[in-house]
A and B are shown apart, each in its own frame.
Chain A
Amino acid sequence: MKAPAIARNRGGAGRGAWGRRVVLALPFAWLLAFFLVPFLIVATISLATPRVGIPPYVPVFDWSGGHLWPSIHADLSTFSLLFQDELYVGAYLESLKIAGISTLLCLLIGYPMALGIARAAPNRRGPLLMLVILPFWTSFLIRVYAWMGILKDEGLLNSLLQWLGVIHHPLVILNTDIAIYIGIVYSYLPFMILPLYATLERQDPALLEAAADLGARPWRAFLSVTLPLSLPGIVAGTLVVFIPAVGEYVIPDLLGGGETNMLGKALWDVFAMSRDWPTASALAVAMLAALVLPLALLSRFQSRMEPAEDGK
């Protein structure tokens, strides 16, 4: 199964090696310039001591001594502060919880939709995918504001439910956690559907026919053929939804009531209210470090799935 893939790699190592290297170098340069360098700057600030001045922290590396090496003023107290205070640990756990539940909901809603699109007649798939992407044509912020209009006490949803006689008093949804879940699931759903669709669409229908021939009922065939083969899509979709959802700031701010203790808001408080750049940077570094572990595990998992995909 692996042989063709290896052969393909070797073929690339010959004449086109330089072109290939340049092509590969571009994304690396991009990551270096826009991810690694900013991250190192933030990580450096997280070790600094706050002060009143420009910048509002004592630089960690002091070159003023005139030596070849700077004198270093590093301070780990910001990190110990984070772990001593249940506030920030709580913010981390709550962010994970909200992102986790939202991702699960996206998966539960997105999977049938992706499957439906993948199984639709080929000439209908384009328009259906278009409908999934269509919301992106409107600004994200405006769509979140629209949800405020839908969810508020005298909004569209409550009016409809009252008109139908389902409820007699308006449900308080806006400014609660439920509104945050609705906002996140709504906003991130397309990011779940697209990778799922990509894997489901490539599945060979003959596999299901074979399962049926061997006596599997449709449900059984789904569980033992379709679902396992779509795992790479599930992993990709989960990552794409989960990671930004952990750091989500705008949706909880607009739809939530503020009692939701998420990292994005806690970070803003520290950065802006007390102008404590080092602690805010430490929070950002801790958040990233805590995300890298599950991310690395998932991507290892995903790379193990790859050969199975090749060998279909």
Chain B
Amino acid sequence: MSVRLLARLAAAALVLLAATAARADDDKVLNVYNWSDYIGKDTLDRFTRETGIKVHYDTYSDNEILDAKLMTGQSGYDVVFPSATPFFAQQLKAGIYRPLDLSKIPNAKGLDPQVMNSLAKVDPGNAHGLPYLMSATGLGYNVDAIKKLMPDAPVNSWRMLFDPAVVSKFKSCGVTLLDTPTEVIPAILAYLGHDPLEQTPAALQTAMKALMPLRSNYRYLNSDKYRSDLAGGDVCLSHGYVGDLVQVRNRARESKAADRPNIAIVIPKEGAMVNIDVMAIPTDAPHPDAAYAFINFLLRPDVIADVTNQVGYANAVPASLQYVQPAIKSDPVIYPPADVKAHLFSALPPAPPGFDRLRTRAWTRFRTAKED
């Protein structure tokens, strides 16, 4: 690299720094990076009206995209919403989040201690992140299609996906899996009666040994496509995020088509993963004070209830329940009853070094396994 090029790069960096500094001066602005379809329609307007802070709002559809941006550094975002595990947990270890000053988030006192405790497993003392919304991972199925192929199908069990004798019956109408080892492996370990959160080569081998012969039963592995295919009747059984499945169910109900599918959602009785999406402030956030104000605003019972009503994900603010629509509050897959809750597991700890590599390769091998 020549000296002149270096000098130019330095100049460019200075310009960038100056620009960042200028943005930091202006504390009436907030840069938010959130999941798509994950906030109320008027939530941002209300925030701007009440605080005078203007919100730049960007969305993503994969934890991986958020991760890549944050890990590169200087993302420019003030508030982000990573899933607690494994993403938030791993990002924490890299030191990319600012310790929260809870005196600036008085509404945090209203958070459910149970949720806070499970989050504390990856973030001791809840120092860096507070829960936003959460959802279990479960099954969505087309009631009529499943009944036709197997009238006595064990619909409330992971057997639907992982018992060779059961899942092979549904092959013809289309079965799909999430394309995420951190969801599928805990699920099949739960089905096999193992500790779902164990991350050792032995547990991985147990899971993959059970999964490999099942590959030809799954039409595809994808974390996105199943939503439109299930709603449109192109597949009949999908492993999916309950919040997404609720949106699928609503879409199918609202459809005018004569053959619109009747979608049911279950949280399998063997236990299922719960995903908590966390609100966190990156260390290099240009407007930390606006970020605190935004998080505090989102934790206000009437505000977060409004979000839950619109997106179908449960929140962690018990006082908000009085504003949540009865149909959502009483929905056992959105707000699971105590007996189901007891079987839910969350907070898959970050994988030990080297395990990630092993798991990814096992997963690619599983996904690309050819039918014999």
Taking beta carbons and an 8 Å cutoff, which residues of A are in contact with B? 52-56, 85, 87, 90-91, 152-154, 175, 253-254, 256-261, 265-266, 269-276, 279
Are B368 and A56 in contact (CB-based, < 8 A)?
no
Residue in chain B with minimal CB distance to A254: B225
Do A87 and B73 contact each other (CB < 8 Å), given the known contacts A259-B370, A272-B68, A273-B181?
no
Chain A binding surface, main DSSP class: loop
Do A260 and B72 contact each other (CB < 8 Å), given the known contacts A275-B356, A276-B357?
no
Pick from B90-98, B128-136, B142-150, B203-211 the stretch touching chain A: B90-98
CB-CB contacts below 8 Å: B32-87 with A: 62, 64, 67-68, 71-73
B221 an interface residue at 8 Å Cβ cutoff?
yes
Are B357 and A152 in contact (CB-based, < 8 A)?
no
Q: Using Cβ atoms and an 8 Å threshold, which residues of chain A touch B370?
A: 259
Q: Using Cβ atoms and an 8 Å threshold, which residues of chain B touch A56?
A: 71, 94
A274 in complex: contacting residue of B220, B225, B357, B371, CB < 8 Å: B357
A-B residue pair count with CB separations less than 8 angstroms? 81
Are A273 and B73 in contact (CB-based, < 8 A)?
no
Q: Using Cβ atoms and an 8 Å threshold, which residues of chain A touch B64?
A: 271-273
> CA of A275 to CA of B93 in the docked complex: distance in angstroms?
13
Q: What bracket does the count of chain B residues touching chain A fall in?
A: 35 or more
B234 in complex: contacting residue of A85, A154, A273, CB < 8 Å: A154
Pick from B153-161, B238-246, B311-319, B359-367 the stretch touching chain A: B359-367
Are B95 and A53 in contact (CB-based, < 8 A)?
yes
Q: Using Cβ atoms and an 8 Å threshold, which residues of chain B touch A254?
A: 225
Q: Using Cβ atoms and an 8 Å threshold, which residues of chain A touch B181?
A: 273
Are B360 and A269 in contact (CB-based, < 8 A)?
yes
Q: Using Cβ atoms and an 8 Å threshold, which residues of chain A touch B180?
A: 273
B356 in complex: contacting residue of A153, A266, A276, CB < 8 Å: A276
Are B367 and A279 in contact (CB-based, < 8 A)?
no
A91 CB to closest chain B CB (Å) equals: 8
Q: Using Cβ atoms and an 8 Å threshold, which residues of chain A touch B233?
A: 154
Q: Give 24 CB contacts A-B under 8 Å.
A: A52-B93, A53-B94, A85-B361, A90-B368, A153-B234, A175-B220, A253-B222, A254-B225, A256-B220, A257-B219, A257-B220, A258-B222, A259-B370, A261-B368, A269-B364, A270-B360, A271-B64, A273-B356, A273-B360, A275-B71, A275-B90, A276-B356, A276-B357, A276-B360
Q: Using Cβ atoms and an 8 Å threshold, which residues of chain B touch A175?
A: 219-220
Are B67 and A272 in contact (CB-based, < 8 A)?
yes
Are A87 and B234 in contact (CB-based, < 8 A)?
no
B4 CB to closest chain A CB (Å) equals: 14
Do A55 and B71 contact each other (CB < 8 Å), given the known contacts A258-B368, A266-B364, A272-B62?
yes
Scoring B71, B180, B365 by chain A CB atoms within 10 A of each residue's CB, the highest score goes to B71
> CA of A271 to CA of B65 in the docked complex: distance in angstroms?
11
Residue in chain B with minimal CB distance to A53: B94
A109 CB to closest chain B CB (Å) equals: 27
B215 an interface residue at 8 Å Cβ cutoff?
yes
CB-CB contacts below 8 Å: B105-128 with A: none
Q: Using Cβ atoms and an 8 Å threshold, which residues of chain B touch A266?
A: 364
B163 an interface residue at 8 Å Cβ cutoff?
no
> CA of A154 to CA of B229 in the docked complex: distance in angstroms?
12
Do A274 and B359 contact each other (CB < 8 Å), given the known contacts A175-B219, A259-B370?
yes
B150 CB to closest chain A CB (Å) equals: 20
> CA of A56 to CA of B67 in the docked complex: distance in angstroms?
11
Q: Using Cβ atoms and an 8 Å threshold, which residues of chain B touch A53?
A: 94-95
B259 CB to closest chain A CB (Å) equals: 10
Residue in chain A with minimal CB distance to B356: A274
Are B215 and A259 in contact (CB-based, < 8 A)?
yes
Q: Interface digits, B221-236 against A, CB 8 Å rule (1 contact, 0 not)?
A: 1100100000001100
> CA of A271 to CA of B67 in the docked complex: distance in angstroms?
11
B27 an interface residue at 8 Å Cβ cutoff?
no
> CA of A254 to CA of B359 in the docked complex: distance in angstroms?
24
Do A87 and B361 contact each other (CB < 8 Å), given the known contacts A54-B96, A261-B368?
yes
